[in-house]
Amino acid sequence: MDVIFIALEQSLLLLPLVLGIYLTYSIIQITDLTVDGTFVLGAAVFARLITNSYTIGISMAAAILAGAVFGVLVSLIQHKNRIKPLIAGILMVLMLQTINLQILGRPNVSIYGYDSFVKKLSFLNDNANLALSFISALVIFSILILVLQSNLGLILRGLGDNKGLVRKLGKNTELYKIFTLALSNALAATCGALSAQVYGYTDVSMGYGVALTAIGAVIIGSQIVKIFEKKRFIPAFELLGALGGTYIYFLIINIFLFIGLDPINLKLVLGLILIIFLTFFGDKNHE
């Protein structure tokens, strides 16, 4: 039973980042790995501000804004395909390693004892982490459903389907790409700031591999959605699929650990699982 609940808590906590990846990878069909860096950026900005006596609201808002700014920057690097999205993302992650270290001042900062959303929910005792993850997931879930159901969501899906035609219809495709990457990286930063509160610390290497984890979860999710959704696009199904994919991913990790897999080998095993999923279910048309 523990395995089931731990996997649920982990999936809900990572969901903002997974949904950010869903927007870039599935909706506008760009592989953006920047979230590896903006996840830590969100955690670093939050940790830096909260330990300097800023309120949770300001620290959280600054973390989200920082993620959005770097989303815009990576989009500008990619501008008109001068640098491919994959390479631009890797470059940004590389630069963010230094930036995150500069923000934190050292590789690891504890925020234990400082104000946080977890602390605000401490009346729920052991369930505070789960409650925070659930509330944040619900809020982000609702916002994204509204976005995907709107005309904006339709244009973003159009962008992923046929960028040239969106341009021909008089829409500025670059602006929509910038918006999506900003939103995606803001979600990653939100996820980082929340993770820092749940774990009680920020570490410069805490984002290593989260982008791939999220892509894996999105791919698993898209397979689940195909079973139920058939031919129509239903935003709630799509997002629930991403949650399902994330849950299955974490369930696999926890089952491996439960049956005694040495944690040293975990990333190797997960990498192999991702290769299998990407080979059989991944979209080969991604930039």
Partner 1 sequence: MSKNILSIKNLRLKSPNSSVYILDNINLTLEEKDFLIILGGNGSGKSSLLKTINKTNKFFKGEIILDGSVPVKTASEKSIAGLTSTITQEINANLFCSMSILENFMLYNMKYNDSQRIDESMLKNHLNKYNSNLSKKINQPVSVLSGGEKQSLILALIFLRPPKLLILDEHTSALAPMTSEKLMKITAEIIKDENITCVMATHSLDFALKFGNKIVALKDGKVIYYAEGKKKQYLTKEELARYCY
CB of 85 to partner 1, least distance (A): 19
**Closer CB to partner 1, residue 82 or residue 106?**
82
**Closer CB to partner 1, residue 166 or residue 194?**
166
**Closer CB to partner 1, residue 30 or residue 66?**
30
Structure tokens at 182: 């900003």
- Provide the 3-class DSSP secondary structure of residue 83: coil
In 3D, which of 124, 257, 140 has the Cα closest to residue 193? Answer: 140
Q: 67, 41 in Cβ contact below 8 A?
A: yes
Binding site for partner 1 (CB under 8 A): 151, 154-155, 157-158, 160-162, 164-172, 231-233
CB of 214 to partner 1, least distance (A): 21
- Write the CB contacts of 104 (distance below 8 Å, at least 6 apart in sequence): 44, 47, 48, 202, 204
CB of 32 to partner 1, least distance (A): 20
Q: 3, 254 in Cβ contact below 8 A?
A: yes
**Closer CB to partner 1, residue 68 or residue 242?**
242
CB of 167 to partner 1, least distance (A): 7
CB of 257 to partner 1, least distance (A): 38
- The Cα 217–Cα 22 span in angstroms is 9
**Closer CB to partner 1, residue 158 or residue 241?**
158
Q: 210, 10 in Cβ contact below 8 A?
A: no
